[in-house]
Amino acid sequence: MSLKSFSSSFINKFIFLNRAVGKNKFALLDIGSGNHSASKTLNVFPNCEYHGVDLQKRF
Q: What is the pLDDT along the chain (59 residues), one digit of tens a residue?
A: 444 554 666 678 888 888 999 889 999 999 988 888 888 889 889 999 999 998 887 76
Map residue 1 onto helix, strand or coil: coil
User: Is 45 in a helix, a strand, or coil?
Assistant: coil
**Beta carbons of 39 and 50 less than 8 angstroms apart:** no
- Please enumerate, as own/partner, the contacts of 26-33 that have beta carbons within 8 Å and a separation of 24 or more: 27/51, 29/53, 33/59
In 3D, which of 28, 58, 22, 57 has the Cα closest to residue 40? 28
Predicted model pTM: 0.70
SS3 27: strand
